Structure 1
């Protein structure tokens, strides 16, 4: 068995060639990107019908003038056929597995992870992790937790091949080495329910005094880990003291039970409140926390930093299940030029630019062409070009470029995020999201609903007047949009509303999971389209009931 520190040392050596290739892209971006496109198109043409075979000399200009910009709907049928028949429909590169993902409001999408695509992801991971070791040397002194985004309980019978395990993004050699440094074994995701998988994860983390890294995607997921540590502290203490899973043994008997009597005593003495002092005592070696921190994730990332102040913090760059756009490098988020082929749609003009044609200050939406066979795939994100590292563009995430269009109003997430940023939020109150809800208004009519998270000590009913002011302010802001104002004037939309409730972000995440979305993929964003009725937790709040009484009066 390789020791943890030795494993880190060997891994750092293996990562260096990938970082050198990435740095070389600073001087030859256009050549490297054109070569990348040619390689992908050769693999795609090998499985296309004869009439659609592409000439090997195609340039980007030929590709862009012929192939349409796409979404998942364009690929759904060939992906489904490929899953059912096993025949490669998108590219000749062998498909290793299908990775499930769910968008902001969509159900499951299955993304082919081919051999070529995994190599592309590895091309982003090597420079990113090399830079992590350089910026946060303490991460080499202990164990690490890289998140799992588990399947919903209803999908677990499909087996382990489709688990969203961050370690599966690595090449085999890197994955074996990283496995020697992990605090949580991959097998936790094989538990029959998400609840059992979460319990096992928290137990393993609590039993790891030399935990050095917590890397998750959504900061609310990490906050949930800390919350569950307090909620289950007595049961966790019993497991760590006895080395037995207790009542969960039938669900978790495939896992070695973590044991740590000292941590068990710490949990027993703890009152369960999220106290930074307790987390510092439990994980004194914690050197890095990594999570989304931009746009609407900002408040939750700040809360996570407050609870784990002993650790450095790095915000995630732009990475989706469908592909990677940027990686953290130095103090920038830089185009992952070792990975896919990139184009960018200008938000102002609609013109599509290759990566080597971007200018500072542009706001653009990325389109990716990848080794999975997805071509000119629109991710739905909006980024701003903040500078260049040599020839590599540096991109700052602004938010989702998606719009909510209930009745023709076309409200985009960036507009809502601007209002959230400009609004003062007193004390510990935090906005969770704005729902563009098809049945969010009085009488189940369409409306935009602001969800605000209240601290436990606050009484929701006492915030009625403030909630009404926030609702009025949001409505006035949205009315700056011509189409929204017209929809309000035509009585197609109810006025914006505000719901203040305890544990609002937890309840929102639960509601998303009930709709089939995958835990860990759920992004707490500024604006969400919410088809159908609002979650019961929001319609039953004291503030909502008082609003309804006032409205009826």
Structure 2
């Protein structure tokens, strides 16, 4: 089925394989390409001597590092339609970029940037299809989130958001990719997450030869299978009749309640999956029925019977999809805790971790014969900051050392120069001469209410070390700290735990974690001064699902939401309390 797609990726894959032995040369070519793209723009005019830059050292000396905040003015000019702001090329679309602790930023996408994505995605896809032939034998599912009703264009008329992952590939490949997807891209037009999941499950269950499931966050897959269990009998009836009836009350264009009575947010942000890479928003008043009318639902009584059997037998994925051969998902950093629950219903199915792919650019890609995802050495120009020596000159790709951790700087043909991506990577080894890097977490995930400077990496380490001990040997499937500001009280952190452990154990967990955090000077000092209140534990139910719902309400796409042990946004106590949280 995918032989043609594999052949189309072969030339780029070959060039990437050759580049792995000469990363310094490949990176020099990337830098030259980026410099050509930025020349004769507003951005280059601000940089003295830009036209004389030739080498990486000259580039580092002349161009300041940038951050999301430092490029805001340029992004606003681009959104208004101004030409040649960051690059000579026009902006094709803006992509919302959702981090783990806040609402979306907007990243300008140009043809040059799309070409750089393809330089990484093509060798990854070629390696997948050539190393795992079984994946070529059936359709694939790539996670789809609803686009909702957010405005589809900027004031300057530039589209916002793509609807499918295939939009990052060349246009001539997009129809071929769409034909091998198990779920039609029109699912992304549905106005809320739960109806999107229900319709997605209709097509997945109907697909008897599904070969690949690809999601970003592993909890996305867990929530999808939970929805299959929750609505399984209704879905079986629909398959039998050849209809699709997402339960009313799951939430529509203006929010609502799902089958369990839980509120869902109002309009949702842009998502993934579909045929048109940058559609206009749904016409006002168009809802679920209108979207469903554009899809075909034929009776599948044999699949309905199999679904009922699977539901009675514990809902193992292999019963529904015997040819399923691979699960693709994040497996590093905080996502590692969600892999086990996601794979619970897919015993015996191989898991491949994804590389580090951000909306701004792709840092690494997985190859089956490499010790860790391989640096996307043909895509962008990379620099690496040493967190222990932030004043030192950033290292280049060929200068990295095995076992060291670095923060990534990215320069792309989308116009971002020396951009602080905020991601930490550790060098696990080398594939030929090119570094293999594993995502370790966010370098900028620090919460600082009153000077306590609490880092997500520290919180993750403490929770991993203490929660299993205090809570009977198991780490809860959902564990997250977040700050709270309460009237007439010092700000403090709350620890949200999904666990059946007795209340006394939750209180013990809060005390133990508080003691560990107080080993840090700034946190302890803030507590001693009374500027920071004590940590308290709060029990939650369906933590991942409710976490996702609020992240969407804060402006993130469902497919972009990352698990985190430290969320910097306040208001989680009220959110979980409205939806069934209990404090011990």
Q: Give the TM-score normalised by the residue count of structure 1.
A: 0.90
Matched with 1:388 is: 430
State the secondary structure of the residue aligned to 1:323.
coil
**Counterpart pick for 2:497 among 434, 452, 461:** 452
**Counterpart pick for 1:254 among 286, 294, 319:** 294
Matches within 5 A, 1:309-348: 309-329=347-367, 330=369, 331-348=371-388
Q: Does 1:72 align with 2:68?
A: yes
Matched with 2:265 is: none
Matched with 1:177 is: 176
CA RMSD of aligned residues (A): 2.4
State the secondary structure of the residue aligned to 2:373.
strand
Matched with 2:321 is: 283
Question: Per-residue displacement from partner, 1:331-388 (whole Å, max 9, x unpaired)?
Answer: 4211011111100110111121111211112111111111110111112111111211
Work out the CA distance in 2 between the residues paired with 1:146 and 1:403.
32
Structure 1 residue 306: deviation in Å?
2.1
State the secondary structure of the residue aligned to 1:379.
strand
Work out the CA distance in 2 between the residues paired with 1:445 and 1:541.
25
With over 3 angstroms needed to count, the CA separation of the structure-2 counterparts of 1:144 and 1:443, relative to structure 1, is: farther
With over 3 angstroms needed to count, the CA separation of the structure-2 counterparts of 1:84 and 1:254, relative to structure 1, is: farther
State the secondary structure of the residue aligned to 2:560.
coil
Q: Does 1:47 align with 2:27?
A: no
With over 3 angstroms needed to count, the CA separation of the structure-2 counterparts of 1:221 and 1:328, relative to structure 1, is: same
Contact 1:240 1:260 survives alignment (8 Å): yes
Contact 2:484 2:494 survives alignment (8 Å): no
Contact 1:230 1:272 survives alignment (8 Å): no
Contact 2:405 2:425 survives alignment (8 Å): yes
Matched with 1:415 is: 458
Moved more, 256-265 or 339-348: 256-265
Task: Report which of the two has the higher share of helix.
Answer: 1
With over 3 angstroms needed to count, the CA separation of the structure-2 counterparts of 1:123 and 1:110, relative to structure 1, is: same
Matched with 1:432 is: 478
Matched with 1:481 is: 520
Structure 1 residue 500: deviation in Å?
2.3
Q: Does 1:369 align with 2:407?
A: no
Work out the CA distance in 2 between the residues paired with 1:86 and 1:255.
39
Contact 2:146 2:190 survives alignment (8 Å): no
Structure 1 residue 296: deviation in Å?
1.6
Structure 1 residue 272: deviation in Å?
7.6
Q: Which runs of 5+ in 1 are unaligned?
A: 547-553
Work out the CA distance in 1 between the residues paired with 2:199 and 2:503.
40
With over 3 angstroms needed to count, the CA separation of the structure-2 counterparts of 1:535 and 1:70, relative to structure 1, is: farther
Structure 1 residue 57: deviation in Å?
4.1
Work out the CA distance in 1 between the residues paired with 2:179 and 2:460.
41
Task: Report which of the two has the higher share of strand.
Answer: 1
Q: Does 1:294 align with 2:290?
A: no
Structure 1 residue 19: deviation in Å?
1.6
State the secondary structure of the residue aligned to 1:298.
helix
Contact 2:206 2:239 survives alignment (8 Å): yes
State the secondary structure of the residue aligned to 1:12.
helix
Contact 2:480 2:497 survives alignment (8 Å): no
Contact 1:512 1:522 survives alignment (8 Å): yes
Work out the CA distance in 1 between the residues paired with 2:527 and 2:536.
13
Matched with 1:35 is: 29
Matched with 1:124 is: 120
Q: Give the TM-score normalised by the residue count of structure 2.
A: 0.85
Moved more, 115-124 or 405-414: 405-414
Contact 1:438 1:532 survives alignment (8 Å): yes
Moved more, 54-63 or 483-492: 54-63
Work out the CA distance in 2 between the residues paired with 1:95 and 1:469.
53
Contact 1:98 1:110 survives alignment (8 Å): yes
Matched with 2:227 is: 228
Matched with 1:93 is: 89
With over 3 angstroms needed to count, the CA separation of the structure-2 counterparts of 1:144 and 1:498, relative to structure 1, is: same
Number of residue-to-residue matches in the alignment:
529
With over 3 angstroms needed to count, the CA separation of the structure-2 counterparts of 1:540 and 1:280, relative to structure 1, is: closer
Matched with 1:551 is: none
